Amino acid sequence: MSYNARKRLDHRERSVERRDKMLNRDRSNDRATVEEVFDNKTRMVVFDLMNSGIIYELNGVVSSGKEARVYWGTNKDGVDLAVKIYLTSSADFKAGMHKYIEGDPRFKDVKHDTRSLIAVWAQKEFRNLREADEAKVRVPKPIAVKSNVVVMEFIGEKGVSAPSFKEQPPENPEKVYKVIVTYLKRLYKKAKIVHGDLSEYNMMIWKGKPVIFDVSQSVSTQHPLAEFMLKRDLTNVNRFFRRQNVEVIPEEELYKLVVGK
Ligand SMILES: Nc1ncnc2c1ncn2[C@@H]1O[C@H](COP(=O)(O)OP(=O)(O)O)[C@@H](O)[C@H]1O
Ligand SMILES: [Mg+2]
């Protein structure tokens, strides 16, 4: 590992401590969090990504989920990155992941120890992002994946994520609904995947346009759970937009529209 990479990572960890002191808060939880994320193997993965010039700096935590933490990073040119690190310690993660990986023809023959499974999970998110992007669905552009770490385009500015629909409902919901329906069709027909966790929590507005993200659980349309997952997505999307007073397409019709020829 390069001296510079280590220096930058140490610097990040120190700046987190400095921030904690400055804020004069008990952030022992936060610190535990950093340690938890940066277990030794994960540290090495982050070092590697730094050495290979993908990540220059790792800044603050953007989001701490049950299964992953999202960090704000930058590359050498100062361009923002989102660095999603899957927790290798998440207990019921393994059982949860299984059902999405099994039955997906893209992920046959994977090892079944926790670390390998999480690496597949991260791979899956990266690949789903790429397939969505290629199908012209607006998602964070995938940049790199290594073990349990996914690097992607940062949606937002200076470490502040764009607001989710939950945080800030779209101002022009009719128009946004139409775009989302178009995305759903492209996801199904071109990318041949089903999002599987689509709701106001996993869509954001950036520069006036909707962005879909959090695609680690997305499955191939061939997956035995695909139909169930798609219908659930459509229910969630319709429910959200109905609340925004949009005259939504009835679910059965929408389903046919998305999967039809
Ligand atoms: N590419 C990104 N750019 C900016 N912020 C992001 C990005 N990806 C995730 N986030 C932030 O992190 C949060 C959690 O990310 P998400 O992928 O939904 O993970 P989780 O599995 O924890 O729900 C998002 O709600 C968003 O605020
Ligand atoms: Mg999410």
Q: What is the CATH number of the domain that holds 198?
A: 1.10.510.10
Q: Which residues contact 57 (CB under 8 A, 6 or more apart)?
A: 8, 12, 73, 74
Q: Which residue has the higher pLDDT, 65 or 81?
A: 81
Q: Ligand 2 center to residue 78 CA distance, Å? A: 26
Q: What is the CATH number of the domain that holds 23?
A: 3.30.200.20
Average pLDDT over residues 248-261: 95
Same domain? For 18 and 129 the reply is yes
Cβ–ligand 1 distance for 214 under 6 Å, the answer yes
In a domain, 45, yes or no: yes
Q: Ligand 1 center to residue 70 CA distance, Å? A: 6
* pLDDT > 60? residue 188: yes
Per-residue pLDDT band at 103 (split at 50, 70, 90): confident
Domain boundary among 138, 160, 182: 160
In a domain, 184, yes or no: yes
d(CA 73, CA 154) in angstroms, rounded, equals 8
Q: Ligand 1 center to residue 163 CA distance, Å? A: 10
* pLDDT > 80? residue 115: yes
How confident is the model at residue 25, as a pLDDT? 44
Same domain? For 124 and 34 the reply is yes
In a domain, 81, yes or no: yes
Q: Ligand 1 center to residue 134 CA distance, Å? A: 20
Same domain? For 40 and 128 the reply is yes
Residue type at 110?
V
Average pLDDT over residues 204-222: 96
Average pLDDT over residues 125-139: 98
In a domain, 228, yes or no: yes
Percent of the chain whose pLDDT exceeds 70? 83
Model confidence pLDDT, tens digit, residues 7-32:
666 666 665 554 444 444 444 444 44
d(CA 213, CA 197) in angstroms, rounded, equals 9
Q: Which of 133, 130, 120, 209 is nearest to 165 (CA)?
A: 209
Same domain? For 26 and 155 the reply is yes
Percent of the chain whose pLDDT exceeds 90? 69
Q: Which domain holds residue 246?
A: 173-259
In a domain, 122, yes or no: yes
Q: Which residues pair with 202 in a beta bridge?
A: none
How confident is the model at residue 43, as a pLDDT? 92
Please pick, among 48, 104, 214, 233, the residue that the annotation labels catalytic: 214
Give me the chain's average pLDDT, please.
87
Pocket test for ligand 1, best of 205, 214, 215 (most atoms within 8 A of CB): 214
d(CA 23, CA 101) in angstroms, rounded, equals 42
Per-residue pLDDT band at 100 (split at 50, 70, 90): confident
Same domain? For 24 and 123 the reply is yes
How confident is the model at residue 48, as a pLDDT? 96
* pLDDT > 80? residue 133: yes
User: Does residue 104 carry a catalytic annotation?
Assistant: no
Domain boundary among 131, 160, 189: 160
Same domain? For 230 and 151 the reply is no
Same domain? For 146 and 185 the reply is no
In a domain, 62, yes or no: yes
User: Does residue 197 carry a catalytic annotation?
Assistant: yes
Per-residue pLDDT band at 258 (split at 50, 70, 90): very high
Same domain? For 58 and 136 the reply is yes
Please pick, among 30, 80, 133, 197, the residue that the annotation labels catalytic: 197
In a domain, 131, yes or no: yes
Same domain? For 148 and 177 the reply is no
pTM: predicted TM-score of the whole model, two decimal places: 0.85
Domain boundary among 160, 192, 227: 160
Cβ–ligand 1 distance for 258 under 6 Å, the answer no
Model confidence pLDDT, tens digit, residues 19-71:
444 444 444 444 444 445 578 899 999 999 999 999 999 998 999 988 899 99
d(CA 179, CA 38) in angstroms, rounded, equals 38
Same domain? For 37 and 110 the reply is yes
Ligand nearest to the CA of 164: 1
Same domain? For 153 and 42 the reply is yes
How confident is the model at residue 22, as a pLDDT? 42
Tally Cβ neighbours within 10 Å of residue 202: 20
Residue whose CA is at the smallest distance from ligand 1 atom 8: 82
Give residues whose Cβ lies within 5 Å of ion ligand 2.
202, 214
Q: Which residue has the higher pLDDT, 18 or 243?
A: 243
- Please provide the DSSP assignment of 17-73 as one string: HHHHHHHT---HHHHHHHHHHT-HHHHHHHHHHHHTTS-SEEEEEEEE-SSEEEEEE
Residue whose CA is at the smallest distance from ligand 1 atom 16: 214
Ligand 1 closest atom vs CA 140: 1
Same domain? For 8 and 109 the reply is yes
d(CA 117, CA 131) in angstroms, rounded, equals 21
Cβ–ligand 1 distance for 70 under 6 Å, the answer yes
Average pLDDT over residues 217-244: 97
Ligand nearest to the CA of 214: 1
Ligand nearest to the CA of 63: 1
Cβ–ligand 1 distance for 143 under 6 Å, the answer no
In a domain, 165, yes or no: no
The number of domains in the chain is 2
